[in-house]
């Protein structure tokens, strides 16, 4: 697991107060919403704000692309990396 994915997993746990889950429990390619980790739309909003605050990411909540970015931790890491590299 790369460092950014580990950071994002910890951010998810801390932001959403997932007390019974550790970084090791989250598979980078597992779905974050509905099945998989089981997050919901409120969790998505909280996570989006945390990402914006920590990494300066911005995304259109209505965009189909944002659903892809938030599909799993691996995709989130790609999204954050692209913002850090000025690609967005």
- What does the pLDDT read at residue 34? 86
39, β-bridge pairs: 33
- Mind listing the pLDDT tens digit for each residue in 6-32? 999 999 999 999 999 999 999 999 999
- What does the pLDDT read at residue 60? 66
Question: DSSP H helical segments within the chain, as ranges?
Answer: 3-15, 41-55, 64-69, 73-84
SS3 for 33? strand
Identify the CA nearest to 87 among candidates 72, 65, 70, 67: 65
- Mind listing the pLDDT tens digit for each residue in 46-78? 999 999 999 998 876 667 788 899 999 999 999
Tokens linked to 67 = 């659903």
Domains and CATH numbers, the chain: 3-84 (1.10.1200.10)
């Amino acid at each position: 697991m790369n460092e950014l994915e580990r950071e994002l997993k910890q951010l998810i746990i801390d932001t959403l107060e997932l007390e019974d889950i550790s970084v090791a429990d989250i598979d980078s390619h597992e779905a974050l919403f509905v099945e998989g980790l089981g997050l919901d739309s409120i969790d998505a909003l909280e996570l989006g704000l945390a990402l914006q605050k920590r990494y300066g990411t911005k995304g259109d909540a209505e965009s189909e692309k944002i659903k892809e970015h938030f599909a799993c931790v691996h995709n989130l890491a790609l999204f954050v990396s692209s913002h850090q590299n000025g690609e967005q």
